[in-house]
Structures are given as C-alpha cells and as structure tokens.
Amino acid sequence: MEFSTQTTASLHQLKTAALAVGVYADGVLSPAAELIDRASNGALQSVIKTEFRARLGATLVLRALPGVTAQRVVLVGLGKQAEYSTRAHASAEQAFANYCAGAQLAEGVSTLAALPIEHSTIRDRARAAAIAAGQATYYYDATVGKTERDARPKLKKITQIVDRAETAQAQLGLREGTAISNGMELTRTLGNLPGNICTPTYLGETARKLARNYKTLIKAEVLDRKQVEALGMGSFLSVARGSDEPLRFIVLRYNGKTATAKKAKDNGPIVLVGKGITFDAGGISLKPAATMDEMKYDMCGAASVMGTFRALAELAPALDVVGLIPACENLPSGKANKPGDVVTSMSGQTIEILNTDAEGRLVLCDALTYAERFKPSAVIDIATLTGACVVALGSVNSGLFSTDDTLAEALLAAGRQTQDTAWRMPLEDAYQDQLKSNFADIANIGSPGAGAVTAACFLSRFTKAYPWAHLDIAGTAWRGGKDKGATGRPVPLLMQYLLNQAN
Ligand code: BES
Ligand code: MN
Ligand code: ZN
C-alpha cells in the first residue's frame, strides 16, 4: 500500500476511481461533501435524507455524478457529529478502505483525515488512515490454492486530501501508519500460519531473516536447547521437553540509538518479551478438542514482537530495543510435565506445576530473568496468557498489568492514540497468596478466581530488577468464528509507545 497527500480545493475535478467524503448522521455534510454536493447540483442532499442515514461506518456509493470527475463518490457515515472521535474516524477510514478493497479498485482518494477532532492531530489521523488501509488489503494466502489467490485486493494507493499547512505532518503520520501496517502484516501472517509450518524453528528463521533484511539496524541470535540448558532455564525447558519439535530462544536487537549516534542519555534498552508457544494442546492437562486449532495462535505475543521489529527497522527511530522470544510447543507426551512436578527456574525459584496448561508463564519467567542482563529501562511482555482475560475484557481491550504507573500510563496512552486500547488490571500483593505452594517457592496456578491477575502475579515474581508491564492479549490477538484470523494487535500500541519514547 502506498499513500500520498494532496491539497486541493477543486475536489470535483479530481480523477480517481473512488472519492470518500464524510457525512454526519444528523444530516450535516462535511466540507468535502458540501463541495461535491454543490458541484453536482445537490446530488448528496437528495439521498442523505432518504437512502443514507450516515451511521458510523456505513457507505453509499454514487456513480457518475454530474459535474464530478471521480468515477465514484463514496459517502462515508461518520455517526453523530457531537460524538465524532478518533475511534470514529478510524472506523470511517476502515469502511472506505474496505469498500475499495472489496470492489477491487486500484486506488482511491479520501478526505476524511482532514476533519478536525479534539485531542487529535493530523498526524494521528493520517496514521490511523494508513493502518486502516493496511488492514483492508491484508490477505492470507500462504497455504491456500490458486483460485483463492486471484481474489487478492488490488488496492495500491490511497491519497489523502489535507490542508497545505498540514501536509508535512500528514506525511509523517502516513509513513508511521505504513510501517505499523507492515509490522502487523508480519504479525498476522505468523499468527495465521498453521502450527506444523510456524514452528519454533520457523520463528527463529524469521528472526534471522529480519536481521538479514535490515542489516544495519537488527541483529538476531537464535539459541537452541543446549544453550538454553547452559543458561539454566529449567522452567522453559520443562515445557519444551514434552514435544519432539526443537525449542528456540530468540534474541533480537534493534539499535537505533547507536545507529543514529543520538546518545543523549545512556538509558538501558526497552525489552519486549513475546510468548512463543507455537501450539498449545495444554500438555498432560489436555485442552478440550473444540476450537483447539486456535491454539496455533499462542505465539501471537512473539509475532507482535517480530512485527514491531519490522516497523522499527522501517522507521528507524533513535532508541534501542531488545526482543526476547521463548518458543516451543506444549504437548502431552512421555516426557511432558506432569501435575505436581517441581522445576527450577533460571532465577533459582522453584515452581510447582499444578496445571501443565499454564505453560505461558513457565516459558516467560525464564525470559524475564534473562532480560536482566540488558539493564533495561523497561520490560514489556506480551502474551496470549489466560482465558480469564478474555472473560474479563473480551476482544476490545488487552489486559495491562504493571508495577510501574509511569510505564502503565505511557502504554495506555499509546493504545488510545492508535485505537489499539488496553485496560489496566490490578496487581496487588493480596492476590499473591493465591500462588502459595506446599512443595515449591511458587505454584504455577492460583486458587480459583482472578485468573488473569494471578498469572500476572506469577510473572511479577521474576521482574523485580526493572520497571515492568505485562499485556495479556488472549482476547485481542485474534478473532474466532467465521472471521477467524490474527488481528496484528498490539503492534500499533507497542510501536506508538516506542515512537513516543524516542521523541
Ligand atoms: N494459551 C492459553 C490461554 C488462552 C486460552 C488464550 C484461551 C486464548 C484463549 C494458556 O496457555 C492457558 O491455557 N491458560 C490457562 C491457564 C489455567 C490453566 C490457569 C487458561 O486460561 O485456561
Ligand atoms: Mn496453556
Ligand atoms: Zn498457552
């Protein structure tokens, strides 16, 4: 997808396959719609009262309007004017991009980002437009046949019409949105790939490929079982042992600060830790068969780290980021963990495994201990960690847990800025009691209640050395049902957070 900005007062003379103009639900035309209405002798006014109610995200296509050069004018519903927000704007851009992609158009022109919204900048709105277009044109075809492949969207370019004074800021937003989209594309495809293809080895190779493609900015190191044993990651190893598929521990390094020689303050890097369970059958605590296929998505945390690294390399902001990915399968076998087993983590703390399906925290805890060596300024782990988080927050917000208010606020703000929102959850000491074990320093599951919180409490035992936050993306990383597929979240949140840190 390609974007450009253009400034024009003669909208009706634009040559394009589709021109998007916004209409508010109260029957109020946006300035662009007003202009087209006048040029076409009231063609818009005549439909908005009857055929088009301008519900948010609704579209109505008008073809061959007299006095208008665009082949199609796409009326995009903006909802009520008083309720128009950054989220509404993102939905409107999404509706237009979806229309263009669905109609197999090659390009379109949008006037939506130019509409002012309180507490938002043209840069934010242009970024949202680019992300929306990237989502509309995403197409998974890695494992589908030729006929399906012909349905791939043709949309290559959307031009945004903005004020001349705002052009430079809009361009910046479009560039950021494109990089975020490209990152999301990688995240979605890794998530959608089946477990028999997207193995820990495959993730390791993807990391190496990132390093090859962005030689000066990204370095990758891929550790195997022997090296992980030498590090003493007894908890991670215990999960990996249940499968014949070899484990990988991936270390990615993005060096933007050194590359741009902008060493203002010598802060430690920001470390992103992604859960990389390429298939989670539950182990001996086997999951039920229904929808078990969705457990191929249990590496979406890892995939969001990879996607964020791709976006980082494309934008090259001045900061240093480390990515850590413990990757393995969680299967039942003669070598798998058994309920009651006690393992020793890299931190030295012993863990009683009461449920082998609570494996995410078992692989993450060793990665969190490994993170200490970077003397990080912040560590953020991203994991499809608990079904309980889906119960609590559904698919709207990712669950955010943090011991550091500044870090938590920065992540929440980045989520709001990119419509990739998170909701802060509690992480009080009172919940830690639920993790008491009679036979080890800690149990890997809590007593009933607050499952997403006790999972975060477990992780917090391994994060004392740095400011830390945990994102539970079990409800947001993919959609189930007929629209089954990875969403690319929370790449926008993570990337926006990192961009905000670099500025
Ligand atoms: N990968 C799952 C979490 C999950 C479940 C994500 C459903 C998305 C949808 C995780 O490894 C898991 O199995 N968690 C258990 C923890 C429990 C045994 C304490 C869960 O949530 O049921
Ligand atoms: Mn599990
Ligand atoms: Zn899992």
Ligand 1 centroid – CA 362 distance (Å): 12
Q: Which ligand is nearest to the CA of 392?
A: 1
Q: Which of 294, 299, 353, 386 to mutate to test the pocket of ligand 1 (most atoms within 8 A of CB)?
A: 386
Confidence of residue 50 (pLDDT cuts 50, 70, 90): confident
What pLDDT, in 10s, does the model give residues 177-232?
A: 999 999 999 999 999 999 999 999 999 999 999 999 999 999 999 999 999 999 99
Residue nearest to atom 13 of ligand 1 (CA): 357
Ligand 1 near 388 CB (within 6 A): yes
Percentage of the chain modeled with pLDDT above 70: 98
- Please tell me whether 156 is known to bind a ligand: no
Our answer to whether residue 226 is catalytic in this structure is no
Ligand 1 near 382 CB (within 6 A): no
- Please tell me whether 464 is known to bind a ligand: no
What pLDDT, in 10s, does the model give residues 417-473?
A: 999 999 999 999 999 999 999 999 999 999 999 999 999 999 999 999 999 999 999
Q: What is the mean pLDDT of the chain?
A: 96
Indicate whether 75 pLDDT > 80: yes
Indicate whether 263 pLDDT > 60: no
Closest ligand 1 atom to residue 445 Cα is 19
CA 242 – CA 199 distance, rounded (Å):
14
Confidence of residue 103 (pLDDT cuts 50, 70, 90): very high
Q: Give the predicted TM-score (pTM) of the model.
A: 0.97
Count other C-beta atoms under 10 Å from residue 474's C-beta: 28
C-alpha distances in angstroms, 161 versus 69, 114, 165?
Answer: 16, 7, 12
Our answer to whether residue 361 is catalytic in this structure is yes
Q: Which of 300, 329, 357 to mutate to test the pocket of ligand 1 (most atoms within 8 A of CB)?
A: 357
DSSP assigned state of 29: B
Examine residue 426 and say whether the peptide bond preceding it is cis (omega within 30 degrees of 0). Answer: no
Ligand 3 centroid – CA 354 distance (Å): 15
List CB-based neighbours of ion ligand 3 within 5 Å. 277, 280, 298, 360
Average pLDDT over residues 294-302: 99
Q: Which architecture does CATH list for 2-161?
A: 3-Layer(aba) Sandwich (3.40)
Closest ligand 1 atom to residue 287 Cα is 13
Average pLDDT over residues 49-74: 96
Ligand 1 centroid – CA 455 distance (Å): 10
- Please tell me whether 357 is known to bind a ligand: yes
Domain range list for the chain:
2-161, 182-502
Ligand 1 centroid – CA 358 distance (Å): 6
Average pLDDT over residues 373-386: 98
CA 160 – CA 108 distance, rounded (Å):
9
Residue nearest to atom 3 of ligand 1 (CA): 386
What pLDDT, in 10s, does the model give residues 337-360?
A: 999 999 999 999 999 999 999 999
Angle at 143 between CA 139 and CA 147, to 5 degrees: 70
Indicate whether 147 pLDDT > 70: no
Confidence of residue 233 (pLDDT cuts 50, 70, 90): very high
Do residues 343 and 228 lie in contact, with contact meaning Cβ atoms separated by under 8 Å?
no
Ligand 2 centroid – CA 105 distance (Å): 42
- Please tell me whether 275 is known to bind a ligand: yes
Indicate whether 261 pLDDT > 80: no
Predicted pLDDT at 208: 98
The crossing angle, in degrees rounded to 10, of helices 300-315 and 200-213 is 0
Angle at 230 between CA 227 and CA 234, to 5 degrees: 100
- Please tell me whether 280 is known to bind a ligand: yes
Ligand 1 near 445 CB (within 6 A): yes
Indicate whether 259 pLDDT > 80: no
Q: Which architecture does CATH list for 182-502?
A: 3-Layer(aba) Sandwich (3.40)
| 3-class secondary-structure state, position 81 | helix
Confidence of residue 145 (pLDDT cuts 50, 70, 90): confident
For 296-307, b/e burial (b = at least 16 CB within 10 A) is: bbbbbbbbbbbb
| 3-class secondary-structure state, position 199 | coil
Ligand 1 near 358 CB (within 6 A): yes
